[in-house]
Each structure stands twice: as C-alpha cells, then as structure tokens.
Structure 1
C-alpha cells in the first residue's frame, strides 16, 4: 500500500514539475504577463514542496534537500 502511495505522489510531482517548466518557459514571451505567471509558479512550487513532504513522510521522514542544507522549511 505504501509503495502505491509513493507511486501516486511521484506521478503527481512529475506532472507539477512539467507544468512549472511550461509556465517558466512562457516568461520568455513578452506577450505573457510575468506577474500572473510568477504567481502561478509560486503556487506550483508550493504544491511540489507539499508533495515532497508527503513523499518523505511515506518513506520514513527523510530530511529534504532544503533541510539538509540548513534552510528552514515550514
């Protein structure tokens, strides 16, 4: 069951990362509103971070890359 949960979380993370990249590439186009895209990127990153935390929880609370480098996470 836990492996199934991990697979689902990893797939969701992969989709969000792809979506984040898609929006990041739009910042190069002057026709797109950078402010709106930036807000979307922040939301997507929040979702990725939440999934990362859920994955760590399923794997047994491994520290994140940010935590291992001394950054504070909420």
Structure 2
C-alpha cells in the first residue's frame, strides 16, 4: 500500500521514461527500464523522426496511476 498526498493507494503506478532527441527535439515515451536516469544517453538509441544516432537522452521519469474504476464518467 502506498500513501500519496494523504490518500491510500492500493495500486502501484506504471513508471515511464521520456527520451528526447537532442538533434530534432522529438519525444518518445516508453516503459521504465532498470538503470534509467535523467540525462542518460544510450549509444544504441536511434531517433525515429530524424534517424540521428546516439542522440536520444532521457529527459523525464514519472509514474501514472491507472484511472480509478469508481470514477464518474465525464460528460
């Protein structure tokens, strides 16, 4: 059980990593991998937008809780 902002959370958030191309600025979100940290540049990463090699850098790591099942639908 996780307590966040005074509320009990039974579910664990999904952790994501955002990689940004230093050449063209394109951003890609992927599932967090152990060893990821902000400003990490992996040599094998290629930008899918511009094709530049070794320019993808981790720019953010964050978690998202799944939507609550009992939440009222928005109209």
TM-score (normalizing by structure 1): 0.22
Higher-Rg structure is 2
TM-score (normalizing by structure 2): 0.21
